């Protein structure tokens, strides 16, 4: 097996909903930790810059700006945040072609550009388009591990 293929298989994109579950220590968050964060197979975790922003604002509303920024920034220290400028065209194309959130289109764009799987929670707008989306990106639903 080539080194590049090994690097490819050791990487995954994580969507905001999954990270919220983890930070809230929910059952889905524990499943995510067990199957992905604690899994030696995965060495690199990618997120979009929108995921970083979403996490911060979700927790800002609960615990305040400074505390949310610190907790989320500390948590994401080992995650690779892809450059937004590299994602724009693919995110825009996905958003244009599918009735999905802008945040989801950015997570999908990361997975598409890097050709690695995307881990996310099941959401109606993704489920309604899963046939066409899964032809472009491998989507792993954390809910399927329950």
Per-residue pLDDT of 84-138, as tens digits, reads 999 999 999 999 999 999 999 999 999 999 999 999 999 999 989 888 898 889 9
**Sheet containing 139-141: order of strands:** 80-81, 44-47, 11-14, 118-120, 139-141
Alpha helix stretches (DSSP H) within 64-140:
65-75, 84-97, 102-114, 124-127, 130-133
Task: Examine the pLDDT at 2 and tell me if it is beyond 90.
Answer: no
In the numeric block, which tokens belong to residue 42? 């995965």
Instruction: Kindly report the CATH number that applies to the domain delimited by 3-145.
Output: 3.40.50.1010
% residues pLDDT > 70 (the chain): 95
Q: What pLDDT sits at residue 5?
A: 47
Q: By C-alpha distance, which of 111, 106, 120 is closest to 32?
A: 120
pTM over 0.85: yes
What average pLDDT does this structure show over 25-40?
A: 95
Confidence of residue 3 (pLDDT cuts 50, 70, 90): very low
Q: What pLDDT sits at residue 31?
A: 96
């Amino acid at each position: 097996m080539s080194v590049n293929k090994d690097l490819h298989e050791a990487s995954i994109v994580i969507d905001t909903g999954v990270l919220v579950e983890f930070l809230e220590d929910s059952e889905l968050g524990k499943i995510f930790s067990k199957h992905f964060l604690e899994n030696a197979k995965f060495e690199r975790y990618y997120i979009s810059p929108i995921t970083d922003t979403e996490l911060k604002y979700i927790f800002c509303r609960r615990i305040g700006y400074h505390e949310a920024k610190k907790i989320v920034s500390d948590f994401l220290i080992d995650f690779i945040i892809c450059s937004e400028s590299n994602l724009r065209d693919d995110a825009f194309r996905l958003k244009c072609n599918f009735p999905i959130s802008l945040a989801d289109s950015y997570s999908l764009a990361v997975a598409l550009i890097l050709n690695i799987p995307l881990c996310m929670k099941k959401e109606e707008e993704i489920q309604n388009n899963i046939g066409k989306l899964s032809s472009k990106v491998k989507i792993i639903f954390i809910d399927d591990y329950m």
